[in-house]
Amino acid sequence: MAKILMKGNEAIALAAIKGGVDAFYGYPITPQNEVPEYLSKHLIANGKVFLQAESEVSAINMVYGAAGAGARVMTSSSSPGIALKQEGISYIAAAELPCVIVSVMRGGPGLGGIQPSQADYYQATRGGGNGDYQLICYAPESIQETIDTMKGAFDTADFYRNPVLVLVDGLIGQMMESVDFDRPVKQRILLEKSWATNGTKNHPGSRNIANSLHLDPVKLEEHNIHLQKKYKLIKQNETQVEMIHMDDPDYVIVAYGTMARICRSAISMLNEKGIKVGMIRPITIWPFPEQAFDQIPSTCKGILCCELSMGQMLDDVLIANNGRHKVGFFGRSGGMVPDPEEIVDAIVNFKDKVVK
Amino acid sequence: MEVKYQKSVGLTDTPLTYCPGCGHGIVHKLVAESLVELGLLDKAIAIASVGCSVFSYQFFNCDAQQAPHGRACAEATGIKRVLPNNIVFTYQGDGDLASIGIAETIHAANRGENITVIFINNAIYGMTGGQMAPTSLIGQKTTTSQDGRVQALHGSPIHISEMFATIEGVAYMERVSVYDPKHVIQAKKAIKKAFQYQEEKRGFTMVEVVSSCPVNWGMKPTDAMNWVKTNMIEEFPLGIFKDKGDQNA
Ligand SMILES: Cc1ncc(C[n+]2csc(CCOP(=O)(O)OP(=O)(O)O)c2C)c(N)n1
Ligand code: SF4
């Protein structure tokens, strides 16, 4: 397939189909509506399942059911809707079921606004659901990267029996870019879903159960230790980061998603001014690419964390930096998207931006 | 020796966790026997809800999922849509279905999801220790309505069977009870019919079972069954509220 011009949300939907989605359950919310709209047409036409649920709470529990039954299943939503899904997400992670969740962030808190934002970094990486669980969380910066991520997301979820969250902001969802759907995805060896609750006639002699209840504290702790082992493996194998101009930089920017793209322009402008700026661009935000920070030379004058929020990834940057360099923060929020010049200013006046 | 009676193969060997005189145990047996008699057990998927029956995934001898509080019908929908030829049923209490899960239940019914709901109405929150349920009777004392349920404060007992009979997607809605052997036999007929209808892909089927909770009602098992007969049935009359099979016949 040649390159085609496509809107971000529709590209997410088509990439999900290419990735093998069997079923979609969701509830309308701006700015992700084109995802279910596209899927409603194309899934049903191909004999797959599309269902508009009565709420996000219901949608995520439909995902739980279908995932347990062995289907490749997804939902998509935006900030307040993802907030409602947290209970179900915790259950799905606890029951070790695979699914894909797309989160197209808008401004918050509360009903907030509908313009692009990155204020749900905590929601994605810390979660609002109860208990010690993690989602494998991708934060692509372009429609192309979102497509590549979505195409592989179902395999990744199946491989680890864990929910995958694809986190983009409203700008990626709404803009159009020229994209290619034929780029290769990582090949994984996937096992049969012998655990699926699809009736004992499909697996005589054993009963399959999707469950998160362990009333015996010994059993529950064992389960948690088992989950942590899996999360450790994911950290080792799935952490993704792009390192940009990291040879002897004066400053290092850390940014993901749309903010990373704005920072790319800012970095070119800064280079023209003779200020060498590199960038650490996390592609997975959980697991967070902590080791990338070891490559920052000791001569670096500071790290600037840039976000479309009031400072959430900043926590991870501070942890990864571990006191080695000065850390500054630049953020806009509420749907305000900065010009590259604002980032240039923030680097030039770095001392005013230092938080630690 | 001839075996006159034995545990249904529709139940596992795990001992039931229910109190003596509790309706849950009786209804488990009826569900299990119905699935076995209809030959549906090996394609059945049970959804356990949150309440005293939370462990029903250990008791029904088929595949199962355990749903968050109130979400059983959503989970059942998710499964049934991807496995339309399996039998999917939920087993829910009145707190789970009629309070926190009312939206999920109504919309599953309204879509005509081809699932079966076994709804245990014991007029109280059993598992959490006897709090008021949406089905608690006026005047009923619970740990959160210690002077008795008052209409002006708490509203009236909610009538699920009457309400769901008005929903187009519902193919079968019957309210039964298990307070004596005659009614247990009737309850089994209803449950079997509901599963039969699901197998025939007729739409949403629900059986409401007016049941007991001797422990949280503070009664002996026999008194509890009597209280079902004398007090609960007056508020929740038994009968078939909707039967699409009949209309079509
Ligand atoms: C989200 C959530 N809220 C509250 C609870 C606590 N809880 C457990 S069981 C239950 C009530 C169950 O009552 P009912 O559905 O009537 O079933 P019964 O125990 O009477 O069979 C509640 C409120 C929970 N587990 N999850
Ligand atoms: S507490 Fe009530 S509902 Fe729960 S098992 Fe005991 S008698 Fe049954």
The residue of chain A with its CA nearest to that of B110 is: A54
Contacts of A24 in chain B (CB under 8 A): none
Pocket lined around ligand 2, Cβ cut-off 6 Å: B 18-19, 22, 24, 52, 122, 126-127, 213-216
| Distance separating alpha carbons of residues A345 and A88, to the nearest angstrom | 43
Q: Angle A22-A209-A164 (CA atoms, 0-180°, nearest 5)?
A: 45
Intrachain domains A4-238 and A243-352 with the same fold: yes
Ligand 1 atom with minimal separation from the B120 CA: 21
- Beta-carbon contacts of B29 under 8 Å, excluding residues fewer than 6 positions away, are B8, B11
Q: Is the CB of B95 under 6 A from ligand 1?
A: yes
For the cut 90, the answer to whether the pLDDT of residue A2 exceeds it is: no
Q: Which two tokens stand for residue A49?
A: 């399942």
- How high is the pLDDT of residue B3? 82
Q: Is the CB of B207 under 6 A from ligand 1?
A: no
Longest dimension (CA), chain B: 61
Of residues B66, B77, B87, nearest to A62 (C-beta):
B77
Backbone angles phi, psi at B90, to 5 degrees: -110, 155
- How high is the pLDDT of residue B246? 74
Sign, Cα dihedral of A55, A57, A61, A64: positive
Whether B82 and chain A come into contact, CB under 8 Å, resolves to: yes
Cross-chain residue pair A198–B86, CB shorter than 8 Å: yes
- The rounded Å distance from CA B52 to ligand 1 centre is 8
| Distance separating alpha carbons of residues B91 and B225, to the nearest angstrom | 21
Contacting B residues, span 4-33, partner chain A, CB-CB under 8 Å: 12
The candidate with the shortest Cα–Cα distance to B237, out of B213, B208, B214, is B208
Backbone angles phi, psi at A186, to 5 degrees: -60, 130
Task: Give the mean pLDDT of A82-95.
Answer: 98
For the cut 70, the answer to whether the pLDDT of residue A266 exceeds it is: yes
Q: Is the CB of B74 under 6 A from ligand 1?
A: no
The domain spans of chain A are: 4-238, 243-352
| Distance separating alpha carbons of residues A16 and A111, to the nearest angstrom | 28
Q: Is the CB of B91 under 6 A from ligand 1?
A: no
3 state SS of A145: helix
Q: How many CB atoms lie within 10 A of CB A341?
A: 11
Q: Is the CB of B127 under 6 A from ligand 1?
A: yes
Q: In angstroms, how far is the first alpha carbon of chain A from the final one? A: 49
Longest dimension (CA), chain A: 71
Within chain A, residue ranges assigned H as helices are: 8-18, 34-45, 56-68, 79-94, 121-125, 143-160, 170-174, 217-238, 257-272, 313-321, 340-348, 350-353
Of residues B63, B80, B81, nearest to A199 (C-beta):
B63
| Distance separating alpha carbons of residues A25 and A76, to the nearest angstrom | 8
Whether B78 and chain A come into contact, CB under 8 Å, resolves to: yes
Of residues A67, A73, A199, nearest to B43 (C-beta):
A199
The candidate with the shortest Cα–Cα distance to A197, out of A65, A12, A29, A26, is A65
| Distance separating alpha carbons of residues A330 and A317, to the nearest angstrom | 13
Over residues A6-58, the pLDDT tens digits come to 999 999 999 999 999 999 999 999 999 999 999 999 999 999 999 999 999 99
Which of B216, B220, B222 to mutate to test ligand 2, by most ligand atoms within 8 A of the CB atom? B216
3 state SS of A248: coil
Residues A165 and A285: beta-carbon distance below 8 Å: no
In the CATH scheme, what architecture does the domain A4-238 have?
3-Layer(aba) Sandwich (3.40)
| Distance separating alpha carbons of residues A305 and A281, to the nearest angstrom | 10
Q: Angle B126-B131-B135 (CA atoms, 0-180°, nearest 5)?
A: 80
Over residues B128-169, the pLDDT tens digits come to 999 999 999 999 999 999 999 999 999 999 999 999 999 999
The candidate with the shortest Cα–Cα distance to B58, out of B12, B110, B105, is B12
Q: How far is B82 from chain A (nearest CA, A)?
A: 6
For residue B97, the 8-state DSSP code is I
Residues A121 and A168: beta-carbon distance below 8 Å: no
CA atoms within 13 A on the CB side of A193: 23
What percentage of residues in chain A have a pLDDT greater than 70?
100
Q: What is the ipTM of this complex?
A: 0.97
For residue A173, the 8-state DSSP code is H
For the cut 60, the answer to whether the pLDDT of residue A189 exceeds it is: yes
- How high is the pLDDT of residue B13? 96
| Distance separating alpha carbons of residues B230 and B60, to the nearest angstrom | 31
Of residues B54, B86, B104, nearest to A58 (C-beta):
B104
Q: How far is A354 from chain B (nearest CA, A)?
A: 44
Name the residue with the closest Cα to ligand 1, atom 13.
B125
| Distance separating alpha carbons of residues A40 and A57, to the nearest angstrom | 19
What percentage of residues in chain A have a pLDDT greater than 90?
99
Name the residue with the closest Cα to ligand 2, atom 5.
B18
Q: With a cut of 70, list the residues of chain B below it in pLDDT.
A: 247-249
- The rounded Å distance from CA A87 to ligand 1 centre is 15
Over residues B177-199, the pLDDT tens digits come to 999 999 999 999 999 999 999 99
Q: Is the CB of B131 under 6 A from ligand 1?
A: no
Q: Which two tokens stand for residue A43?
A: 């899934």
Local confidence band at A1 (pLDDT 50, 70, 90 cut-offs): low
- The rounded Å distance from CA B128 to ligand 2 centre is 10
| Distance separating alpha carbons of residues A39 and A16, to the nearest angstrom | 9
For the cut 90, the answer to whether the pLDDT of residue A128 exceeds it is: no
Q: Which two tokens stand for residue B210?
A: 């007016």
Whether B162 and chain A come into contact, CB under 8 Å, resolves to: no
Residue-averaged pLDDT of chain A: 97
Q: Is the CB of B212 under 6 A from ligand 1?
A: no
Residues B123 and B140: beta-carbon distance below 8 Å: yes
Q: Crossing angle, helix A217-238 and helix A79-94, to 10 degrees?
A: 110
- The rounded Å distance from CA B71 to ligand 2 centre is 21
Q: How far is B1 from chain A (nearest CA, A)?
A: 28
Domains of chain B by start residue, with CATH: 24-242 (3.40.50.970)
3 state SS of A1: coil
DSSP letters spanning B164-192 = HHT-TTEEEEEEEE-SSHHHHHHHHHHHH
- How high is the pLDDT of residue B249? 42
Of residues A55, A66, A87, nearest to B68 (C-beta):
A87
Q: Is the CB of B23 under 6 A from ligand 1?
A: no
- Overall fold of domain A243-352: Rossmann fold (3.40.50)
Within B38-125, residue ranges assigned H as helices are: 56-59, 72-82, 94, 102-110
Which of B179, B213, B228 to mutate to test ligand 2, by most ligand atoms within 8 A of the CB atom? B213
- The rounded Å distance from CA A176 to ligand 1 centre is 47
For residue B18, the 8-state DSSP code is P
| Distance separating alpha carbons of residues A317 and A279, to the nearest angstrom | 12
Q: How many CB atoms lie within 10 A of CB A40?
A: 16
Mutation target to probe the B interface, by most B beta carbons within 10 A, among A48, A50, A101, A197 is A197
Cross-chain residue pair B74–A22, CB shorter than 8 Å: no
